[in-house]
Amino acid sequence: MRLFNTKKPVAARAEGRVEAVAKVTGSGKYAAEYEVKNVCYGVLAVSAVAAGSIKSIDLSKAKQVEGVLDIITHEHKPLVPGMADEAKIKETRFGLPIFHTDKIYFRGQPIALVIADTLENATYAASLIDAEYNTEKANVDFESTHPGVKLSSAGKEKGTLDAWSGAAHIVEAEYNVQAEVHNPMEMHATIAHWTADDKLVLYDKNQGVNNVQRVFARLFNIPPQNIEVSSEFVGGGFGSGLRVWPHALASVMAAKQVKRPVKVVLTRPQMFSLTGYRPAAWQKVKLGADNNGKFVGILHQSKNNTSKYETFSEGITRITRMVYNFDNLKTEQATVPLHLSTPTWMRGPGDCTGAFALECAIDELSHKMQVDPLELRMKNLAVTTDPESGKPWSTNFVNECVEKGAAMINWKERKQVPGTLTDGEWKIGYGMGIGMWGAGRGNASAGISMQKDGTITVKTAMTDIGTGTGTAIQNITHSSTGVAKNKIKIELGHSDFPATGSQGGSTGLSSISGAVSAVCDALKQKLATYALVQKEVYKNAALPDILLSETGVSYKTNNNEFVSYADIWKKNNLTTVDVEASSGPGEERQKYAFCSSAVHFCRVKVNIKTGKVKIDRMVSVADGGRIVNEKPAANQISGAVVGGIGMALMEEQLADKNLGNLVGNDLAGYHFAVNADAPVIEVAFINKTDPNINPSGAKGLGEVGIIGSAAAIANAIFNATGKRLRDLPITPDKVLA
């Protein structure tokens, strides 16, 4: 039996997440950790040039290594029907056609997979593979390339640019964000096992098992139900698990080739080029206001890099069409193909980058107007109606977030004139930034299996990537059925369970909560039907009147018209009671617009002699509708803010313009925030239910925590020093410049 929440019996179950014991004892199994009999190891060898094609690959040395079973290359591979020819490759939209091309699109592109008996042998053999290339000139230089790429419209223009050309106050500036890499702590891994010619078992790190199932069904032309995908514990995703990446296909091909289960775990450097990243971006914002501080117009332009084999557009300007009211609005975008791998969604995709420019531009405007940036924002927030769709917001408490956060950080201590507050060689400043994210909801299904002793198991294919989804499911089940929490087991992340969308875009809880509520209702209904055999009253009983206890079903009040589970099971000759239900968005989406929001406040200290930036306080207040479980929700926000600190101050993936290689592509070279970089993040919620979004009233929180947080920090640095730093990350060199 595989249960997400109980891996090991423990004497005293602590109050915490359902899977907490599995995680603190190390017993929860992540993809690479499953014991699969006869498993062998696959290790990728990658291209040493960034552009061109493979002339030849020398496998002679690698093949001498003992234990090597086979080596897959574009010239030696099993058939993948979905990639049989160029047309099919295009059709699959798989991305990099690994081992199905001799072309090199980026440095670090896999050129071979060594399969060997041990990890040591496979790793060593992979290091002995040499290749010759027809090398072409590579371009990885976003900065010098993007000016030559033309912008095109991103959404409908509102009003005109001319209408506000004479506005009383106008700011115009360019902003740059370097590429960032997800780097979840667990490196992506797949164990592929063909249990029959057309039956595949996968243990895989991803954010959506049904998506993985679909992709491989298409690639190998087999029914999805022949593919079993298990992703019970996922060591962080941040968007990197929303696609099926080349290494997963490599492991499946290898398993086919050697007729043994094959495990492929990416190395950390490979994580930088084979599982996506947040693209580098350039933005220009022109923003105008009248003398009353009312925004009159905005022009927001953006460009992000993509690869030479696929287009990925981030949607950077979307946020500008959402948070504030503008009578005149124009948004434009473009993608810039480079000899790099394809970027992908990364926490707060698009909006995170867009909010940096937008929220900094507002800060610049407030400085120019000599008004409090908080006041300027409050005057222009679109709190009643979604400016894009014109629909009323179902709920939008962003203004309350602003007020609450301002009180928490003591915003009135902020001085309007930059550089006013000092502490020796340290300058002190305050800044704020707003994050918003369309609160989505997808289709989802869940099932419940009930035992005679009253224990129930809730199952869904949804993964919990650290979001607390499993715990939320337990909470919702408990409040919907009345069944005690210790009798509710949770099973997640398996393709045999009722299907859902992926855990991404902050839709996980919002989507699954509806399915869980529905399946709880279905359980009550079904039990009532069984109880009817003994008590007439259950005929046509309304849902709220059906009460479940530890031992049986009651009508209207506890123990009234009581029928025990034991009797139900006996009379109906049952082993288990199984129900399944689905739910999804409905008419409410026609009537309302939905959003989550977070407002970030930062107090920063900047050492003007050394360039050191120290974040003194960080306050984030979020509107995520009803908070279903507070601790994991607060953890989501504070964790995202830590990501925002990284984005603001240190995260950047550089590529060498001459050689085309990523520079410092490991966790020593690519810095993200360690414990010491973050203050204790102060988090608060508005915690007001959204009555329309889903039965739980909860809106997604995964993204908003990072959106706007980097701007809050950059704005605080400006308030401290008077230096407007528009290029992220703000490393000490930029502070000193």
The H-or-E segment that residue 287 falls in is strand 281-289
467 lies in the binding site for other proteins (CB under 8 A): yes
Burial bucket for residue 482 (CB in 10 Å: 0-12, 13-18, 19+): middle
Size of the site for other proteins (CB under 8 A): 109
Name the nearest CA neighbour of 30 among 612, 463, 628.
463
180 vs 364 by CB, closer to other proteins: 180
268 vs 688 by CB, closer to other proteins: 268
Binder among 135, 176, 221, 267 for other proteins (CB under 8 A):
267
Question: Least distance from C-beta 30 to other proteins, angstroms?
Answer: 6
434 vs 673 by CB, closer to other proteins: 673
Stretch in the footprint of other proteins (CB under 8 A) among 116-124, 151-159, 312-320, 473-481: 116-124
Binder among 94, 99, 105, 124 for other proteins (CB under 8 A):
124
Segment 127-186, which members bind other proteins (CB under 8 A)? Answer: 127-128, 130, 182-186
- Backbone phi, psi, residue 315, to 5°: 75, 40
Question: Least distance from C-beta 64 to other proteins, angstroms?
Answer: 4
Segment 211-240, which members bind other proteins (CB under 8 A)? Answer: 233-238
507 lies in the binding site for other proteins (CB under 8 A): no
Do the strands 682-685 and 444-450 form a parallel or antiparallel pair, or are they unpaired?
unpaired
- CA-to-CA distance for 324 and 518, rounded, in angstroms? 36
Q: Which residues are registered as beta bridge partners of 220? A: none
Residues 6+ apart with CB under 8 A from 159: 297, 326, 327, 328, 329
Residue 482, both tokens: 């009345």
36 vs 222 by CB, closer to other proteins: 36
Residues 6+ apart with CB under 8 A from 165: none
Rg (CA), the chain: 27
Segment 605-634, which members bind other proteins (CB under 8 A)? Answer: 607-612, 614, 631-632, 634
241 lies in the binding site for other proteins (CB under 8 A): no
25 lies in the binding site for other proteins (CB under 8 A): yes
Burial bucket for residue 281 (CB in 10 Å: 0-12, 13-18, 19+): buried
Segment 409-428, which members bind other proteins (CB under 8 A)? Answer: 425
523 lies in the binding site for other proteins (CB under 8 A): no
Binder among 144, 540, 590, 658 for other proteins (CB under 8 A):
658
Q: How many CB atoms lie within 10 A of CB 643?
A: 25
- CA-to-CA distance for 554 and 546, rounded, in angstroms? 6
Helix (H, G, I), strand (E, B) or coil at 702: coil
Segment 447-466, which members bind other proteins (CB under 8 A)? Answer: 465-466
Stretch in the footprint of other proteins (CB under 8 A) among 97-105, 478-486, 558-566, 637-645: 637-645
Segment 53-92, which members bind other proteins (CB under 8 A)? Answer: 61, 64-67
Stretch in the footprint of other proteins (CB under 8 A) among 221-229, 387-395, 478-486, 673-681: 673-681
Binding letters toward other proteins, positions 712-731, x by CB under 8 A: -------------------x
Question: Least distance from C-beta 719 to other proteins, angstroms?
Answer: 21
649 lies in the binding site for other proteins (CB under 8 A): yes
Stretch in the footprint of other proteins (CB under 8 A) among 369-377, 511-519, 596-604, 648-656: 648-656
Binder among 112, 200, 265, 619 for other proteins (CB under 8 A):
265
What's the Cα-to-Cα distance from 570 to each of 432, 547, 567, 697, rounded to whole Å? 63, 20, 5, 38
List, as one string, the DSSP characters of 442-510: --EEEEEEE-TTS-EEEEES--BSSS-HHHHHHHHHHHHH---GGGEEEEESBTTSPPB--S-TT-HHH
654 lies in the binding site for other proteins (CB under 8 A): yes
- CA-to-CA distance for 523 and 628, rounded, in angstroms? 21
Segment 526-565, which members bind other proteins (CB under 8 A)? Answer: none
Do the strands 444-450 and 577-583 form a parallel or antiparallel pair, or are they unpaired?
antiparallel
Stretch in the footprint of other proteins (CB under 8 A) among 74-82, 392-400, 498-506, 652-660: 652-660
Question: Least distance from C-beta 184 to other proteins, angstroms?
Answer: 6
Name the nearest CA neighbour of 618 among 455, 405, 437, 471.
405
19 vs 351 by CB, closer to other proteins: 19
Question: Least distance from C-beta 197 to other proteins, angstroms?
Answer: 28
Binder among 3, 119, 369, 371 for other proteins (CB under 8 A):
119
Do the strands 262-265 and 40-46 form a parallel or antiparallel pair, or are they unpaired?
parallel
Residues present in the chain in total = 737
267 vs 551 by CB, closer to other proteins: 267
Question: Least distance from C-beta 401 to other proteins, angstroms?
Answer: 19
Helix (H, G, I), strand (E, B) or coil at 264: strand
Question: Least distance from C-beta 449 to other proteins, angstroms?
Answer: 25
Q: Are 188 and 235 in contact (CB under 8 A)?
A: no
673 lies in the binding site for other proteins (CB under 8 A): yes
Look up residue 708 and give its amino acid. Answer: G
Segment 295-354, which members bind other proteins (CB under 8 A)? Answer: none
206 lies in the binding site for other proteins (CB under 8 A): no
Catalytic residues, by residue number, are 703
